[in-house]
A and B are shown apart, each in its own frame.
Chain A
Amino acid sequence: MNDRAFRDRLVVTVAVLIAWQLAAVAFGAHWISPPLATARRVLELALNGELARHALYTLAAAAGGFILGGVPGGILPFVLRRAPRLAAVLDPYLVAAYGMPKLALAPLFILWFGIGLASKVTLVASIVFFLVFFSAAAGVRATDVRLVAMARVVGASERALARHVVWPGAVPYIFAGLKISLSYAIGAAVVGELISSNRGLGYLIQAGANDFDTTTVFAALLTLTLLIVAVNALVETAERRLLRWRPNDAQPARRLVTAA
């Protein structure tokens, strides 16, 4: 990021804070907790350890579901590539299951798995699985047939083909799916906690709202947002490392020589 973009972003941040403050004044601090009070509450909760306790619980549910859903979701398209008949049979079921609103399953998961971590992990996994699956499937479908033909001609086995041609080509798609999944994962964990829990940021929001304590609600929301931004930055760093081979769109591909 260059200095210019950084400065512009700072301006936007200040504008948002001013608008927030004005809204708090206009509608009353009782309904909209002003920025300073919210920040103070975040600090309070951070100092007495409550924030970490709730945030870690939410993160654990999100991360558990992320792995439980994301890993099979990422692998299944590669299996189906080798089994086109199975893929054709499963396709309508996968599409139907994807279309079903998973959040509506939350009460059922809580019935089955209790109000502990397991029900939230399951809820998150049921959402992340489909997001990652369909992105990875798009990546597998987008495999360049010319590269596949080349690899076969030079003697690549089906396994080598999957590992050296199909997989690297699908990685950008999988990352796109993972990035979308991240905020959904944290979101789903929070919804699970809203419905029934005694811990987590979702619980904190619910508890705050029950006490008409909007400052706590806002503090929890602010923490959630910061959490998502931080996790997203982590994934982007990993993505940049793994996709070094791609032309950087921010700057035109650096050509070493124009004429060979």
Chain B
Amino acid sequence: MSDATVLLEVRGLGRRFEPRAGGGQAMFAIRDLSFDVRDGELLTIVGPSGSGKSTLLNLIAQIDAPTEGEIRFRGEAIAGPNMRALRPGWDRQFGYVTQDDTLLPWRTLLDNVLFPLRVQGRLSAHTRERAADLMRAVGLERFERYYPHELSGGMRKRAALIRTLVYDPPVILMDEPFGALDAQTRTQLQTDLLTLWSLGRKTIVFVTHDIAEAIALGDRALVFTRAPARVQSEHRIPIARPRDVRNIYLLDGFAETYQRIRKELS
């Protein structure tokens, strides 16, 4: 794995937020942040809440621009202080599953899943079939015609995940996507994610504040410091795949990795 090609390079990245009118001082959410993401890996990032993890994903997704440093994708600089215009998603190279499910409330579940294909002008019998397959894979096939408000949080999360997978972006950014779910649903979704990942082998950057989740899912986990966030340490996850997320606590290597990361975060 260590000789796999580097897909994404983050170099000396910083994002400063100006003070609000009426007081306070400018502060960096992240600063001097550097790391690599390799092709096909599932990289998890853990850090205390408020440590700039979401800011980082927004910078990679090109929703926001860095104050300093740069991001390179396949060797090409895609973000830096000298680049003016943002290109959200970098021409569909980056999928982004956010904390909120951001489904369009006025579209049925199926229409939400098909939304990227529709705006990209790629709706066809073939892509519709792919969407149907993905819906079936996560057990949503019976709920195609329902509106988001009629469905549970777990189902909406699944739909949001499928919506990103359906247009097949090579890199998927995930920002605590399973944060607000009950433990059982969460485990199920983690299992679903690993299954889908093993089928497609995409590159995933998965942000969480839950150490157990970072270990259960990742090939590698980065631990972030408090804001301004930098990489405090890097941990290879020694647990073999396929992994049984439900019993992850019992697997070899879990307890020891967990202790190591916990000590660093405290």
Contact = CB atoms under 8 A, between A and B. Distances in A.
A157 B119 contact: yes
A164 B115 contact: yes
A260 B89 contact: no
Interface string A117-157: 00000000000000000000000000010110111111111
A253 interface: yes
B141 to A, nearest CB: 14
B88 interface: yes
Contacts of A144: 102
Nearest to A144: B102
A245 B155 contact: no
B63 A153 contact: yes
B106 A146 contact: no
A168 B108 CA distance: 13
Contacts, number: 98
A149 to B, nearest CB: 5
Interface stretch (B16-24, B90-98, B126-134): B90-98
Contact of B158 (A164, A259, A260): A260
Contacts of B89: 152-155
Nearest to A159: B119
Residue among B96, B98, B102, B155 with max Cβ neighbours from chain A (10 Å) = B102
A154 B150 contact: no
B104 A164 contact: yes
A168 to B, nearest CB: 4
Nearest to B143: A256
A260 B99 CA distance: 17
Interface string B145-169: 0110111111101100001100100
B98 A146 contact: yes
Interface stretch (B2-10, B70-78, B181-189): B181-189
A56 to B, nearest CB: 36
B120 A154 contact: yes
Interface residues of A, number: 30
A151 B104 CA distance: 10
B253 interface: no
B100 interface: yes
Given A150-B102, A154-B89, A164-B104, A256 B96 contact: no
Given A256-B151, A258-B152, A150 B98 contact: yes
A22 interface: no
A256 B150 CA distance: 6
A259 B146 CA distance: 16
Contacts of B226: none
Given A256-B146, A259-B154, A259-B184, A147 B167 contact: no
A260 B188 contact: yes
A151 B119 contact: yes
A154 B119 contact: yes
B147 A245 contact: yes
Contact of B106 (A150, A160, A245, A254): A245
B151 A146 contact: no
A257 interface: yes
Contacts of A254: 150
Interface in A231-255: 244-247, 253-255
A152 B88 contact: yes
A259 B89 CA distance: 32
Contacts of A153: 61-63, 88-89, 94-96
A168 B106 contact: yes
B201 to A, nearest CB: 21
A246 B92 contact: no
Contacts of B116: 154-155
A185 interface: no
Nearest to A146: B102
A165 interface: yes
18 contacts: A146-B102, A147-B102, A149-B61, A153-B62, A154-B92, A154-B95, A154-B163, A155-B92, A164-B118, A164-B119, A245-B108, A255-B152, A259-B152, A259-B184, A259-B185, A260-B151, A260-B153, A260-B155
Given A153-B94, A154-B116, A259-B184, 14 more contacts: A149-B88, A149-B102, A150-B98, A150-B102, A153-B88, A153-B96, A165-B104, A244-B147, A245-B107, A245-B149, A246-B149, A256-B151, A260-B151, A260-B181
Interface of B: 61-63, 88-89, 91-92, 94-96, 98, 100, 102, 104-108, 115-116, 118-120, 143, 146-147, 149-155, 157-158, 163-164, 167, 181-182, 184-185, 188
Interface of A: 144, 146-147, 149-157, 160, 164-165, 168-169, 171, 244-247, 253-260
Please list the 4 inter-chain residue pairs (A to B) with the smallest Cβ-Cβ separation, ordered nearest first. Answer: A260-B154, A152-B88, A154-B116, A153-B89
